[in-house]
Chain A
Amino acid sequence: MTSFFDLPTIWAFVIAFAVFAYVVMDGFDLGLGILFPAFAPGPHRDRVMNSVAPVWDGNETWLVLGGGGLMAAFPLAYAIILPALYAPIIAMLLALIFRGVAFEFRWRDARHRRAWDFAFTAGSIVATLAQGITLGALLQGIAVEGRSYAGGWWDWLTPFSLLVGVSLVIGYALLGATWLVMKTDGVLQLQCRSLAFRLGIATLVCMAAVSAATPFLSGAYYEAWFAWPRVLFTAQVPLLVLICAAAFFHGLRRDHDYTPFLMALALFALGLAGLGVSIFPHVVPQAVTIWDAAAPDASLSFMLVGAAVLIPIILGYTAYAYWVFRGKTGHEGYH
């Protein structure tokens, strides 16, 4: 066991942060797409779209950082995981194309607006499902031989990976609904509140289902969660989930604008922490550790200098962009 704060460990945390940043930001973008059919065409849909139009592109960039960072910091893991998840990854990329261009295209052509709205929804659902399936497939383990993937084309497709996929669709929809509670008012906000309430319950059910299923995927996960004295630490995760859930419903009932969104984010953060408990220090669960997969120190240190300086700056101007577009959203864009 290498010391706890060596370069691969630091990079594992940096990439985990990038993944979390992606889920936090693009999660609600995708959630809006998932919920889009629930909103009335016209001003309502325009407002939903405009609430993220200025920021969605930056949100999606965290996905590029996650993928690029994985290739740079853990090239072996990248080389094993991506071929193993060939179909869901390609599906996600294609779906993100439809989702991304819909932001621009729907304004350009009133006759086909419905078609691009559909592309926005379908793209968001497929991309989210694919991300969830990717996570589920990763958790259940990947067949590795030597330095490459050794499984089949359909190994990723199991009841468990589908469960995680569907759970993520519901979870992102919750993020989308609570985001809109912040960014809208009037009838639309009321609609989003009631959506958030139902999705909050559904998300908790999904979290429970995935958490219950995970330890039975492999003995290693069971150990990671229930070995004494680790259980004293790991037991805090479900406890915090309950506290956040209580705060979430309290905020919804009291008509708070911000609490539901922040608590939904906290639930996702706890989910990610749970994931970390399960797989650390592996990067391909049960097969490859972060030290096996890490790039040479020369690569890791070169990037770390950049990341240490640049990621805070990125967070700074991203915050500025959000601040410029703060407040409730109207239904007219630049278009």
Chain B
Amino acid sequence: MFDQADAILLARIQFAFTVSFHFIFPALSIGLASYLAVLEALWLKTGRTVYLTLFKYWLKIFALAFGMGVVSGIVMSYQFGTNWSVFSDKAGPVIGPLMAYEVMTAFFLEAGFLGVMLFGMNRVGRGLHFAATLMVAIGTFISAFWILSANSWMQTPAGFSINEVGQFVPESWLEIIFNPSFPYRLAHTVLAAYLTTALVVGAVGAWHLLRDRRNEAARVMFSMATGLVMVAAPVQIFAGDLHGLNTLEHQPAKVMAMEGHFESHPDGAPLILFGIPDQEAGEVRYQIAIPKASSLILKHDLNAPLDGLETVPREDWPYVPIVFWSFRIMVALGFLMLALGGFALVQRLRGRLHTSRALHRFALAMGPSGFVAVIAGWVTTEVGRQPFTVYGLLRTAQSASPLEAPAVATSLLIFIIVYFIVFGTGTLYILKLMHKAPQTTTPDQTRDDEAEEHQPVRAAGITPAPAVHAGRTIGGRHGPGTHASPTREER
């Protein structure tokens, strides 16, 4: 009924599903961690309450996104062993240490200071609290550094030899960590996380401006977010182009699949805007193309020759339809982001940033686009790496555990059900928080709006005395929530 090929396909679907779901959360938490650090810094520097309001507003959303990132991330760290044990055995000596460094330099840092960041506002001084926020933000960066180094090494392996049992043996850690595609991938991914977050923050700002254009917090967040989109979108397109040129150099078959070039073009390759790639026939049907434009983009010369997949053995082809389309979705969204940034700049110069309903509707519609683009980008690079796990050296078909299809199918089904329940609910809670308008309050009033929620924003705990002088804590004069008076049942 089933054979090993089915089991491997199911394992691949499971990896794609769990990693796509997982990456949604870091994409948001990398950007939000930095945004929170900026907000807290601005609040400490200027004393303007609107920054504190925004900090507290986004902190709750960050906590949810971060929590979901953590629990879906643990799945990733064990999935290599359960489903890809041969890959783990062979690539473990290289990939393993990179991930171990990620845990030791990033995960502990984030997790260790997250508690202080979320619950410590009234327990530590302002400086220490800001330091904790900063540590969490730095941790998200370091995490991106190591995991992208590991992924890039799988794409463009370097600095290794292969021993008698077929394991990759590290020869130069510098060459492994800073492998040829790593700097480009790191820049492209971190920019993507920033853009994704800016689009989310911008959409939330737009949502509240559409309902009440006088809301100060909404105005500030919208202005900050669109400002970042304006700068980051063009930079990202430029970084993506460089990344593409790097891919052409090291993984030409991936670029052929992205471009839909089955055949070689000795005198200038067309840029296919639209078409239906047919893997079997080796051609793109119904294509709409700009002659020679692909050569212009990739070689900066209209007549430069470009090889097609016909020069690559068929067993080394990635599956073109997916790569072709995911790449186009990503690029199209990238240009829409550029348009949003440009439109926001025009309205800003006309002084209509906070009043242009068309801009707000556009920004609102673009809210989820970052996530879609990020997933499409990962699909492009990962499916484009096929049929290899370690490019050109270790085939995906030879990387899997001795799996049985029914077991993988069962676990995949459970993953899908659980992820939709848990992360669907979490997303609803995030949307619920975003739907609530940020209300600017003075530090001394913070209790009022929380009282109606019955969810005070302050540290849990009874301490004999506040850890620091009350005047120095964020939130002003309230000490820690004490539990000094016994409840009725305890008397």
Contact = CB atoms under 8 A, between A and B. Distances in A.
Contact of A101 (B68, B407, B459, B482): B68
Interface stretch (A69-77, A224-232, A274-282): A69-77
A324 B110 CA distance: 16
A63 B73 CA distance: 12
A243 to B, nearest CB: 33
Given A105-B429, A148-B85, A64 B458 contact: no
Contacts of A108: 64, 429, 432-433
Contact of B63 (A104, A296, A328): A104
Contacts of B86: 79, 147-148
Given A54-B120, A82-B82, A330-B483, A75 B460 contact: no
B163 A296 contact: yes
B97 A72 contact: yes
Contacts of A100: 67, 70-71
Interface in A99-117: 100-101, 103-105, 107-109
Interface in B103-118: 103-105, 107-116, 118
B103 A329 contact: no
A173 interface: no
B290 interface: no
Interface in A138-172: 147-150, 153
Q: Which size class do B's interface residues fall under?
A: 35 or more
Interface in A320-335: 320-321, 324-335
A50 B118 CA distance: 12
A275 B86 CA distance: 28
Nearest to B415: A94
Interface residues of A, number: 80
B101 interface: yes
B321 interface: no
A142 to B, nearest CB: 12
B441 interface: no
Contacts of A71: 80-81, 88, 92, 95-96, 99-100
Interface in B183-207: none
Interface centre among A71, A80, A321 (most CB of B within 10 A): A71
Interface stretch (A212-220, A252-260, A261-269, A304-312): A304-312
Would you call the interface of chain A mostly helix, strand, loop, or mixed? helix
A93 B75 contact: yes
A295 B103 contact: no
A269 to B, nearest CB: 21
Interface stretch (B40-48, B223-231, B266-274, B397-405): B397-405
A334 B402 contact: no
B234 interface: no
Given A321-B112, A321-B116, A334 B74 contact: no
Interface of B: 59-60, 63-64, 67-68, 70-75, 77-78, 80-82, 85-86, 88-90, 92-97, 99-105, 107-116, 118-121, 123-124, 163, 165, 167, 169-171, 173, 401-404, 407, 411, 414-415, 418, 422, 425-426, 429, 432-433, 455-464, 467, 480-483, 486-487, 489-490
14 contacts: A53-B118, A60-B111, A72-B99, A83-B81, A87-B407, A98-B422, A187-B489, A295-B93, A299-B170, A317-B109, A330-B460, A332-B460, A333-B119, A334-B456
Given A54-B120, A71-B88, A107-B455, 19 more contacts: A61-B107, A64-B73, A68-B77, A72-B100, A78-B85, A79-B85, A82-B78, A83-B403, A93-B75, A98-B422, A104-B64, A296-B167, A299-B96, A306-B101, A306-B104, A324-B116, A329-B462, A329-B483, A332-B481
Nearest first, the 8 A-B pairs at minimum CB distance are A75-B92, A72-B96, A82-B81, A54-B115, A50-B460, A79-B89, A79-B85, A100-B71
